[in-house]
Chain A
Amino acid sequence: MMNKRDPRHRNIRPWLVVIVLMQALFLLALAGSYHAAHALGEEIRLKTAPVDPRDLFYGDYVTLRYEISSIPVQRIADLKPDSDGDIEDLYKRQIYVVLTEEEGIHRLKQAYLERSNIPKGSGPVLRGIIQGGWNDEVNVKYGLERYYVPEGTGTELELRQEEIIMRVKIAAWGQALIVGPDHL
């Protein structure tokens, strides 16, 4: 039965070990990069719109919408003045949002379509993707729109407030991630 020519009996173990190791290392590196962003990143505080209370009953995360989730087109510094204002041209573009701190909350200072156009020392920068828009405002997604709510830690109660401040870390290499709601 053990026919040597049968391709199913090839010795694939050395390669399999390499591929499985690669997968394990990738997962470790991924977690490591997030962990490093968490540990080394600069902390900012972003204001969010109220959480839909139904979100707390369905599923294990809440959907967040931030103050900076919509950005007026006029605030995009490097948008060419000759563009005819067609907001759809901006869809799917990356956008870099420079923040400035006012009374402990980080707010929009200026937005840029190219990272290279940002003046040095401008302050913390969040990278997002423009997804749709309305009138003169574009919607921006940062990848920070989901917060997985830990059960039984009181976080649920915190999320029921009118206004939530979310603590976010931005790493030097641009990775941003949520730390959690701020304890008021």
Chain B
Amino acid sequence: MSRKWLEKEGRRWLELQIITQEQLEQILKLYPSKKFGIGVLPIFGGLLVGLGVLTFVAANWQEIPQWFRLGLIIAVMCGFYWSGERSKAAGYHRIGEALAGAGLLTFGAGIFLVGQMYHLTSYSVISFLIWGIVGLLLTYLYRSRFMFFLTTLILVIAQSYGYLSFISFSYAAALITLIGLGGFVWLRSPKWMEAFLLSGALLVHLLYFLNERNWNEMWFYVLLAFLYALSDWMPASGAKQGFRSFAVSIGFLYGLWMVMVGDWLGLSMKVPASLYWILLPYALFMGVSIWKKIRNEDLDKGSWTIVEWLPLLPLFLVKTGGIYVYLIALWLFSLYLLFYGYRIQNRRYANWGTAGFIAVVLVAYTKLTWAFMDKSMFFISAGLLLLGLSGWLYRRNKTILVGNEGEGGHDE
């Protein structure tokens, strides 16, 4: 909520005699306008000078004596950290963290520039890992989302670089992500964004691992099951929602993907017998999750969410039905989101449910019309359903969701 908005609305409340002048002033006092303006100028000035120095250095890099280059890198790095601290002390936390992040990036650039001074091409990920570890330390120190983001990215790049240049999986990069960044999410339980990013990074590491081992990539369903079960056992927090949203949305998107290309990619292909092993850990996580849901005292709220397992099911293992199995699962899940969203009066659930429903119908349409034009009845009925639904939603919207905007924090 911005102060400007508050000032504008406040005047209206005053006119409508909802509040008095004193009350308005009291309310406004609660939200002091942020100092901005003149204090930022020196920072922009500093950034400009820094950029100028950087371009000058980059253009003349080869002619600068080596010891001076090294000193310059270290000085620029320290300068960023120092000005970050100064900005934080002055109350500009975001800018402070951004400057410290620039310090971290300079450190990484320094590692590679030093290598370049000696014509070295690094063939190990160790440099990246040290960079990532420093990022991790700074993440804990600043408790900052920006640092968390940078560190996650550095470790994913480390893994990708190692994999693409010498096809080996870096257990260190994966473990630092899992334990180091996972620990941050666990201990600090930040907003959903961090948990979502962490899940994404873990998925990337896992895919490289599966690729290196020549395992089927369908094993990623186990990660989705794990993240979802984990979210069930976590106390209510942003991170809980992050893990849950990630598992469900990736499962949903992958399901859509399978519907689109599954019959050439996965479904027509014979499922190798070894792939059934994924059912073992999968069933464990699923069982743990469902047990928690059923045991949950708030039965009404807990048990219904069992439906959220639908997009997480490894349906490619089902031999009959092909893409229809996925279609039906995704379709049911979208309907669940829609109706459950209305039931608990959560607009985001309902909106995502609508989006999911439309996505499923569209994918089904584009996919199926090529093969079976005579399935037109399916689309007419889907279209009618959609029309009916939108009309019904519109009326419900008017009656139910008024005043409940944005309650709860669940996206899909």
Kindly provide the distance from the CB of A91 to the nearest chain B CB, expressed in whole angstroms.
7
Q: Is A144 a contact of B117 with CB atoms below 8 Å?
A: no
Q: Is A34 a contact of B141 with CB atoms below 8 Å?
A: no
In the complex, A146→B73 CA distance in Å? Answer: 22
Q: Is B168 an interface residue (CB 8 A)?
A: yes
Chain A, 1-37, CB within 8 A of any chain B CB: 1, 7-8, 12-13, 15-16, 19-20, 22-24, 26-28, 30-31, 34-35, 37
Total B residues in contact with A, Cβ cutoff 8 Å: 38
In the complex, A35→B120 CA distance in Å? Answer: 12
A91 — which chain B residues lie within 8 A by C-beta? Answer: 167
List the A residue with the shortest CB-CB distance to B78.
A20
Q: Is A1 a contact of B73 with CB atoms below 8 Å?
A: no
Within 8 Å by CB of B134, from A22, A61, A141, A143, lies: A22
B20 — which chain A residues lie within 8 A by C-beta? Answer: none
Count class of interface residues, chain A: 35 or more
Kindly provide the distance from the CB of B132 to the nearest chain A CB, expressed in whole angstroms.
13
Q: Is A28 a contact of B74 with CB atoms below 8 Å?
A: yes
Q: Provided the pairs A20-B103, A26-B130 are in contact, do residues A34 and B120 lie with their beta carbons within 8 angstroms?
A: yes
In the complex, A89→B81 CA distance in Å? Answer: 47
Q: Is A150 a contact of B78 with CB atoms below 8 Å?
A: no
In the complex, A27→B166 CA distance in Å? Answer: 25
Chain A contact residues, CB within 8 Å of chain B: 1, 7-8, 12-13, 15-16, 19-20, 22-24, 26-28, 30-31, 34-35, 37-38, 60-61, 91-92, 129, 131, 141, 143-148, 150-152, 177-178
21 contacts between A and B (CB under 8 A): A1-B32, A8-B143, A16-B81, A16-B85, A19-B134, A19-B141, A20-B77, A20-B103, A26-B111, A30-B111, A30-B114, A34-B114, A91-B167, A131-B166, A144-B120, A146-B119, A146-B120, A148-B116, A151-B62, A177-B118, A178-B119
Chain B contact residues, CB within 8 Å of chain A: 32, 62-63, 66, 70, 73-74, 77-78, 81, 85, 88, 91, 93, 103, 107, 110-111, 114-123, 130, 134, 137-138, 141-143, 166-168
